[in-house]
Amino acid sequence: MFVLGIDPGLSRCGYGCVALDGGRERAVAAGVVTTDRELAVPERLATLRGDLRELVVELAPDVVVVERVFFQTNVRTAMSVGQASGVALLTASEAGCDIAEYSSNEVKLAVAGYGSATKEQVQRMVATLLGLGQPPRPPDAADALALALCHIATSRTSRLGVVGVARRAGAGLPAGAGGAAGVAR
């Protein structure tokens, strides 16, 4: 399985590609696509689409996973994230990729074992699950890798008929969070 996660944003759109090789997850690519804030929104969306199309062609993922946008307190941010999300979904669809969407809480639960985990906890678990020495930077790339890991975990548990993910000790979650969960291995 080869999964491209996309953390949508108009100014900064994170991407992270994870391969599942022999039952182990491996980071293949991660980074951020940016657009020029001086350009008009339609031009920025066109730039984002072109860059995402190049990524999809270059990486050839089996699945593209996009964070599902629910609610933002800043309406302007919510609009631009929604627009970027639409561009990502369109690009994946045009490329013929399977598409999945997960909410932030679903990603946190699958990767850190706790739906209210902090960004830092999720980033540390991404590093642990992928065998990286430190959390990926920038945070948008780490979030995109977490989306890819969430899809792999969800796919595994769906195939096995298991609800949830395997528990592992030592993830550094807050007391009472029920321990740590990682991607089922």
Known catalytic membership, residue 67? yes
Catalytic residue from among 25, 106, 140, 143: 140
pLDDT tens for each residue of 73-126: 677 778 889 999 999 999 999 999 999 999 999 999 999 999 889 999 999 999
Q: Active-site residue among 7, 25, 106, 143?
A: 7
The catalytic position among 25, 43, 51, 67 is: 67
State the pLDDT at residue 169.
Answer: 29
What domains does the chain contain, in order, with CATH numbers? 2-181 (3.30.420.10)
CA distance 38 to 142: 26
Q: Is the pLDDT of residue 139 over 50?
A: yes
Tokens representing residue 175 in the block: 């007391």
Clarify whether 7 is annotated catalytic: yes
Average pLDDT over residues 154-173: 48
179 pLDDT above the threshold of 90 = no
Show the CA angle centred on residue 152, arms to residues 28 and 159, nearest 5°.
145
- Confirm whether 62 is a catalytic residue: no
pLDDT the model gives residue 102 = 96
List beta partners, residue 14: 7, 32
